[in-house]
Amino acid sequence: MPVIDPNHTWTLLEERLAVTTDERHRVVLKAVIEHMKAEAAADLDRLMATLSPAPAYHFWYGGNDVGPKGTDGVRTYYSDFVASRSNVLEYTLDRLVLDDHCLVTEGFLKQIYPGTYAAQLGFPVDDESADYLIVHRQLLLWPVDGNGMIQGEDSYGTGPTSITKLSFEELPQQYIDLVHPSVG
């Protein structure tokens, strides 16, 4: 049975959208849901279409901002993300906070990494030919402009809370098709 289901990423947002009557809040929720779905589909053009003309990402690690800035920087970031084959993920949300200009999400980000890429990033893996589920606790701020476009992401994470070597049976089909097409 697969260890993650990418569709869970936007479940809490869709539940909130179903009961939200404030039109501006609906705009913010819809923008982030579309962004999440485009990311899951690895559709770069669709993903970039959710962003404002000058997006700025802030990924805070060890007190430093390492996020991409500007359209070209963000496009390169997402192109590299898809090329890494670590884009099969589930962001299981515990909480969301919403206002007219920002959505805040908090939960566990679960991603499957090819062992070689996990090792390249410095994660302690013992078999670079294996696949790993790496879980992080993450808080994301999603600022949304007056036109309903996402202005970037401000990400605060804990670092890995767990790293688990996966069996082939635990891999979702989307990941198998991406990383192990000759086996699937």
Specify the CATH number of the domain 6-179.
Answer: 3.10.450.50
Instruction: Tell me the domain boundaries of the chain.
Output: 6-179
pLDDT band at 62 (very low <50, low <70, confident <90, very high): confident
Q: Region 27-43: what's the mean pLDDT?
A: 95
Q: What's residue 3's pLDDT?
A: 87
Answer yes or no: are the C-beta atoms of 157 and 61 closer than 8 Å.
Answer: yes
Scanning the structure block, which residue is given the tokens 């993903």? 47
* Residue 82 or residue 148, greater confidence: 148
Q: Could you tell me where the beta strands, DSSP code E, fall in 25-130?
A: 58-61, 64-65, 89-98, 102-114
Q: At what angle do helices 11-19 and 23-40 cross, to 10 degrees?
A: 160
Average pLDDT, the chain: 92
Q: What is the pLDDT of residues 124-159, one digit of tens each?
A: 999 999 999 999 999 999 999 999 999 999 999 888
Nearest to 128 by CA among 117, 141, 112: 117
pLDDT band at 1 (very low <50, low <70, confident <90, very high): low
CA distance 69 to 77: 9
DSSP letter (8 states) at residue 62: T
DSSP letter (8 states) at residue 3: S
* Residue 173 or residue 65, greater confidence: 65
